[in-house]
Amino acid sequence: MDKKEEAVLFPTVGAAEGQLPYNYYEPIIPYEEPQCNTPDIKFFSEIEAATVDWLWYPYIPFGKVTIIQGDPGEGKTTLALNIAAILSRGERLPTELEYTYTYNSITSIYQTAEDGLADTIKPRLTAANADCSRICTIIEGSDALHFCDSRLEDTIASTGAKLLIMDPIQAYLGADVDMHRANEIRPVMSRLEAIAEKYSCAVVLIGHMNKSGKKAQYKGLGSIDITAAARSVLFVGRRDNDKRKRCIIPIKSNLAPEGRAVLFSVGEQLTWEGFDDIDISKVCSDMGHSYEKTPSKVEQAEFFLKELFDGKREIRSTEVENAAREQGISKRVLDTAKKNLHISSRKSGDYWFYVFPD
């Protein structure tokens, strides 16, 4: 018998004196000290600082997630395909800022759930003079591709791709993921971020806008955590209500100063038209949207509470707090928002309620 498993055996309680013990014996296992799992810790003095490399400075970084969002039909797909085409030829994207690029031609992966590969994507790439030997797609078959799919990482690794474009976001979250729930979105986006960083691959997600008239960061469909995971968010919209003129306006830039709006026009071919200072609020207004700067965490929590109540007088506290937790809102932030909105609490029987003011 192994020493660690040695046991002192004694008769089961209840055996009569002078009789043989029952066949059942209880082992007494020697006490063992519990093992402590020490977390892997690094002091920042041990971590070497690194600079960010850019696919397109200051708009699309390598190794990070970028979102290009706008209304349907405003040229997001055309823009994304032209970016892949330019990079396939070893050329540079237009810039007015000085930056030394470290790459030549780039292999891209383009995934779409909305357009036909043969009748839409290939003709657009051909019109953009793409080197189609440098642009590939994963044939999904009966198994729908998603952000946590091992085929994504395998394809990036095998092709050496430095650009992954997925159009649109909601098609690739996974069948069981609710895009409006932060607790379901976060692990999915974290997986995508990890792949991007591991292979220094720029991941570009194409997103549609909603028509709610909410603040700009809420306009992208789904949880705000999708936008939070991106290091860069670019808005594509129409200029001067012209059916051909477009602009790319940075609305989030965590890794570099925001660049100016990039101007382009669409037609048989995409044409770059320089840079300009454009008021995004005017562009959004022309499109029927409102625009405000990125809200703070407390402002997001206030918005959440207003949406949750939506005409209700009171809601049980546990329901509010559970819903807030799913949206990634901490108790401290929730309490601050509650105070700002003059929401009170009252107890009825065994339950507490949030009471919205008149």
Q: Are strands 351-355 and 344-348 parallel, antiparallel or unpaired?
A: antiparallel
Residues 6+ apart with CB under 8 A from 239: 245, 246, 247, 263, 278, 283
Residue 119 burial by Cβ neighbours in a 10 Å radius (0-12, 13-18, 19+): exposed
Task: Provide the 8-state DSSP code for 220.
Answer: B
- The answer to whether the beta carbons of residues 229 and 30 sit under 8 Å apart is no
What pTM, to 2 d.p., does this model score?
Answer: 0.71
In this predicted structure, what is the pLDDT of residue 277? Answer: 92
Note down pLDDT in tens along the chain; length 358 residues: 555 444 444 444 555 555 555 554 555 666 666 677 788 999 999 999 999 999 999 999 999 999 999 988 889 999 999 999 999 999 999 999 889 898 989 999 999 998 999 999 999 999 999 999 999 999 998 899 999 999 999 999 999 999 999 999 989 988 888 777 777 888 899 999 999 999 999 999 999 876 554 444 445 555 677 888 899 999 999 998 888 999 999 999 999 998 999 999 998 899 999 999 988 877 776 665 555 555 678 888 888 898 888 878 899 999 999 888 888 788 888 999 999 899 999 999 999 999 988 7
In this predicted structure, what is the pLDDT of residue 259? Answer: 92
Per-residue pLDDT of 28-68, as tens digits, reads: 666 666 677 788 999 999 999 999 999 999 999 999 999 99
